[in-house]
Structure 1
Amino acid sequence: MNETDQLNWQRDNFENDFEAWEGDLWDRKRLGIQLTNYVDRLQCGAVLALDARWGEGKTWFVRHWAKHLDDTNHNVIYLDAFANDFLDDPFLTIAAEISQAFKNSDEIGIEEVNDFNSKTASVLISLAAILPVIAAKAGLHWIGLGGVGEAWQEVYKEGKEVFDTVSDEISVKVKEQIEKKIENHHIEKQTIQDFKKELAELAAQLEKPLVFIIDELDRCRPDFAIRLIERIKHFFDIPKIVFVLVMDKAQFSKVVCHNYGYDEKIGEEYLDKFIDFTVGLNSLAPGLMDHFKINIHSTFKNLGIDLNDQDLNGCIELIDFYVKEKKLSKRAILKLASQFALLYSTSFDSNKNQLLIMFLLNPAFLLKSNTSLELLKILLEQMNNYVELHKGDFEKYHGENYRADSPLTVLMRKANFFQDELGILIFIQLVEYYEQLVNSQKRFSVVSVRNLRPTDNKDFHSGWKNYIFGGI
């Protein structure tokens, strides 16, 4: 699937054949199987939202889940909404994808698929009943209507000369078309009902539900994204068809608010009208951290970082700490690994490399500290506060390795980021007695910047800033 194992400098290539859950760094397979079992039990249609922040691996998950569904003989459609938002109306795209899925199925005959396509065309014409003359008057090209749009363009071309010179007549024709649409309203309603009935009859023939995954919804043109979820609810809310909308729900609700002028709470309520329930794609759970460490180790190796185990453990433990504290996304962690690969010390100086990790994870440290030792003092305090707040989690996941009477000592032993020259217990004591810390700078100068020598305030800030952003 990738040219590299865990981390690719390019985007994942899902167009070629790949194995479901290959490189499952976040143990997403469990969620995929759980969702599959849920879908199989459904006796009705449903619209699910898969909610996660940008960079949490939504596309990776749904692509692998789609492959898993396909491997287990499910009917599955994957649609990149962002790649299709140049269209005006998503109805045709959704219907065409479903038609193709029916055609590919062994359970539905070709004549039945053709009947469905015919009813789809009738609905599309109803949706576009007054567009020909409006398009002619406005000079528009209705790309979003596909073949129907092309037909309207032909009408426009053939009558262009007349339309250009007789605008009053066009206005009359627009009025006539609107009046005709009102008169035929009951016919159009019946057309839509016939479409939904045909769709329901075909879906009922499927042994397993059709899963329609719509990705990149929060990256779409806002009006297209909103119309898409409205079309799903109004036309495709059918038993045995399950839609999965992939989005950052908080961001998407802001799009709704902006479009309709709602406040934030109303925006979420509006979305919930179209979504039956939301599945959160959670960040890495503490219980999976050992699995994560194995894979991030592999990621470092793929980037050419040949650290010894002792050095690597210190870096990974620091990442562990910040993943939990700041809820870093998968993408953020991989970007961190890439930047670390560019800047890490090839002299295998563990102290400098782990200071680098700290800066990359939290650039604000540059503003809070004037020396390396002051930086370490801040870090120790943060880690101590974190352990105190999450004492129960540490007891649960670290078991006998956790000592409630000395959480800071335990975490620092786990972090292990000054395991060689710098004795952790001695350093903690020095932090508690800052006067001794100041008098001991020479002893611990190994952790300073610029060849690990003590520096003044100006050199400390500018040195690390230049190093991180310029590699110098």
Structure 2
Amino acid sequence: MRLKHDFKEDNLQRKETAKQYLQFINKLQGNHTIALDAPWGSGKSKFIDFMCEDMDKDKNKDIYIKYNAWDNDYTDEPFLSLMSEIFSSFEEKKYIGKDELKNIKSKAIAISKAVGKGITKGLVKNILGSDATKDLSDGIESLAKGAISETSQLLIDSTFKNMSQTKKTREQFTEELKNTTKKILEEKSKNKLIIIIDELDRCKPTFAIELLENIKHLFAIEEVIFFIAVDRTQLSESIKAVYGSGFDSDTYLDRFFDINLYLKKNNMQEHFKQKIIKYFNEDIPCVYDYFDYHKFCKEAIEALELTLRDFEKIISEAYLIYKLNSIRDFELEVILFLLMFRKKSPQDYNTFIDHNNQNITQINIIVFKESNSNYAIFMRTYILSILRDKNETLKTVAKLSTLTNTLIQIIEETKL
């Protein structure tokens, strides 16, 4: 399996954390479903690739399958989609031969929703004959009224018989998967099969819910551990969209995840620093030393809750603005500030630019006067103190206001 990230770059020093998490997983006893809980854009996919890189080494004690839920979100069959990836990986990695997967493949299809969709009509057709399927709706209607006709009685009997058979088939699938997994682990001298699922929080709520339900009910196997990268807060909100705003989605998710792991936000400043240098050092030598970025980054990261994906977008956009316009070096920090502002709080940013004919202190009062959040305090401090003290050009509120208004116009004209 080809991994998509450049492992030479580990500004957040997460490679070691990935190794430690793997060591933790290896010591676990029994079946578990683990959530790697972090916001979208915080580097979960790269972290997973660090884990996979480590597991690809011969000394590792586990084997793994990697499944991207978002890439398969188009299908109405989450279970079959996951099993297809598992079977393909088993064959691709030469864990087991194709012929040895025939039994478990047939059992996976037997319990899939695809078979279930047409089961009622099929049962009635088999029981009553091809000309009698038109009586199905009459049979259901009689059940609703409490009357049991010959047709509805056949439907009752066949439905419960099918339910019993479905349960048996599901149990057979789990047993077959258990045997297949044990066979692979024994032949490869490994301890566990880790099934890694990425980007579940980006999927349709119905897809995510059904996938989790199938994992819970069909994969309760001692040697199997699921490691699922997800933004639990986002997924929780998505589930409420299905079950209603009053639904306790956090408790619901606790049914599936018995362990929660997290990504530390340490070294975010170093990551930002390296990105700044990568984009701007050729044009502005020693760019990172030019401004007090350590203070700026630390406060911005905490107050605006910036993610790695936010950094990438903001810095690349700042670079484009810098190259396409006559931006002076010391104005770069103002550009970054305004882009962060627009990214993290578009409503406040729009209020900000709607009043761009006023001076900067008046804008500050209009936008942030009623808020004492870390975000508002950071914005007030930055506008009234940090920017104003950076350069002789910014020594007065009037000059700062003029500069800010000019840069806002440039940003809006260069909008990506």
- TM-score calculated relative to the size of structure 2: 0.73
Deviations 1:25-64 (A, max 9, x none): 3222122112211222223111111222122122222234
When residues 307 and 195 of structure 1 are mapped into structure 2, their CA distance, relative to the original with a 3 A threshold, is same
Q: Does 1:272 align with 2:254?
A: yes
Equivalent residue in structure 1 for 2:394, among 430, 443, 447: 447
How far residue 373 of structure 1 moved from its aligned partner, in angstroms, is 8.7
User: Are 1:55 and 1:331, in contact at CA under 8 Å, matched by a contact in 2?
Assistant: yes
Match of 1:323 in 2: 301
Instruction: Say whether residues 1:221 and 2:221 are aligned partners.
Output: no
Cα distance change on mapping 1:167 and 1:30 into 2, 3 Å:
same
1:468 to 391, 408, 411: 411
- TM-superposed CA distance for 1:19, in Å, is 7.1
| CA shift digits 1:383-432 (9 cap, x unpaired) | xx98xx9xxxxxxxxxxxxxxxxxx9xxx9xx89967xx5xxxxxxxxxx
User: What is the CA-CA distance between 1:267 and the residue it aligns to?
Assistant: 0.7
Q: In structure 2, what residue type is equivalent to 1:361?
A: M
Q: Which residue of 1 aligns with 2:26?
A: 40
* Per-residue deviation, 1:173: 9.1
1:306 aligns with 2:259: no
1:269 Cα offset (Å)? 0.3
- Residue 232 of structure 2, aligned match among 219, 224, 249: 249
Aligned match of 1:233: 216
Distance 2:250 2:334 in 1: 41
* Helix, strand or coil at the partner of 1:218: helix
Q: Is the 8 A contact 1:82 1:216 kept in 2?
A: yes
Map residues 30-429 of structure 1 onto 2, 5 A cutoff: 30-72=16-58, 74-104=62-92, 108=96, 112-124=100-112, 128-129=115-116, 131=118, 134=121, 168-169=134-135, 171=137, 179-205=157-183, 206=185, 207-261=190-244, 263=246, 266-282=248-264, 284-285=265-266, 288=267, 291-292=270-271, 295-301=274-280, 306-309=283-286, 312-314=289-291, 316-317=293-294, 318-344=296-322, 349-362=328-341, 366=352, 371=359
Task: Describe the shift of the 1:25–1:133 C-alpha distance in structure 2 as closer, same or farther (beyond 3 A).
Answer: same
**Alignment root-mean-square deviation, CA:** 4.3
Which SS does the other structure have where 2:75 is aligned? coil
Q: Classify 1:68/1:256 alpha carbon distance in 2 versus 1 (closer, same or farther; 3 Å).
A: same
What SS does the aligned partner of 2:66 have?
A: strand
Contact 2:35 2:257 in 1 (8 A): yes
Distance 1:218 1:169, change over 3 A: same
SS of 2:111's equivalent in the other structure is helix
1:106, CA displacement in angstroms?
A: 5.6
Amino acid at match of 1:203: T
1:82–1:219 contact (8 Å) kept in structure 2: yes
Per the alignment, in what secondary structure is the counterpart of residue 211 of structure 1? strand
What do the CA deviations read for 1:296-315 (whole angstroms, capped 9, x no partner)?
Answer: 244324xx752122665416
Cα deviation code 1:107-130 (max 9, x no counterpart): 6565543332233343338x7346
Structure 2 counterpart of 1:25, from 3, 7, 11: 11
**8 Å Cα contact 2:11/2:271 also seen in 1:** yes
Aligned equivalents of 2:117, 2:313: Cα separation in 1: 50
User: Equivalent residue of 1:128, what SS?
Assistant: helix
For the 8 Å contact 1:372–1:447, the answer to whether it is kept is: no
Aligned residue identity for 1:215: D
**Alignment correspondent of 2:146:** none
In structure 2, what is the equivalent of residue 438 of structure 1? Answer: none
Does the CA contact (< 8 Å) of 2:277 and 2:288 recur in 1?
A: no
Q: CA deviation at 1:202?
A: 2.4
CA distance in 2, matches of 1:134, 1:70: 48
- Change in Cα spacing, 1:312 to 1:344, as seen in structure 2 (3 Å) is farther
Would you say the 8 A contact 2:359–2:397 is kept in 1? Answer: no
Q: Which runs of 5+ in 1 are unaligned?
A: 1-14, 138-154, 378-384, 390-407, 423-443
Change (3 A) 1:352 1:135: farther
CA distance in 1, matches of 2:105, 2:76: 20
Give yes or no for contact 2:199–2:229 (8 Å, CA) kept in 1.
yes
Query: How far apart, CA to CA, are the structure 2 residues paired with 1:63 and 1:456?
Result: 45
Q: Determine what percentage of the aligned residue pairs are the same residue.
A: 23
Cα 1:313–1:30 change in 2 (3 A) is: farther
User: Shift in Å at residue 244 of structure 1?
Assistant: 1.8
* C-alpha spacing 1:305/1:335, structure 2 compared with 1 (3 Å): farther
For 2:72, the aligned partner's letter is N
The structure-2 alpha-carbon separation of the partners of 1:456 and 1:233, relative to structure 1 and needing over 3 Å to count, comes to: closer
**TM-score normalised by length of structure 1:** 0.65
Shift of 1:226: 0.4
Q: Contact 1:19–1:67 at 8 Å: present in 2 too?
A: no
Matching residue's letter, 2:173: F
The alignment of Structure 1 onto Structure 2 pairs a total of residues equal to 370
Cα distance in 2 for partners of 1:178, 1:102 equals: 41
- Partners of 1:134 and 1:88 in 2: how far apart? 20
Relative distance call for 1:297 and 1:130 in structure 2 (3 A) is closer
Amino acid in structure 2 at the alignment position of 1:87: T
| Letter of the 1:292 counterpart | H
Secondary structure of 2:261 counterpart: strand
